[in-house]
Amino acid sequence: GQIQNLTWSPGASYTNFGPFYTVFSNLKYVSLEQATAGGLAAAKLLDSKKATRVKVLKVRDLTVLADYFVIASGTSSTHVKSLAEEVEFQFKEKGVAPIRTEGFNTQNWFILDYANVIVHVFSPDARDYYDLDHLWADGEDVPMDFIEE
User: Residue 80: is its pLDDT beyond 70?
Assistant: yes
Q: Which pLDDT does position 132 carry in this prediction? A: 93
Type and span of the H or E element at 27: none
Whether this model's pTM surpasses 0.85: no
Q: Closest Cα to residue 110, out of 122, 127, 97?
A: 122
Higher pLDDT among residues 71 and 12, named by residue: 71
pLDDT per residue over 3-55, tens digit each?
333 333 333 333 334 444 433 443 444 566 777 788 889 999 999 999 999 99
User: Residue 121: is its pLDDT beyond 70?
Assistant: yes
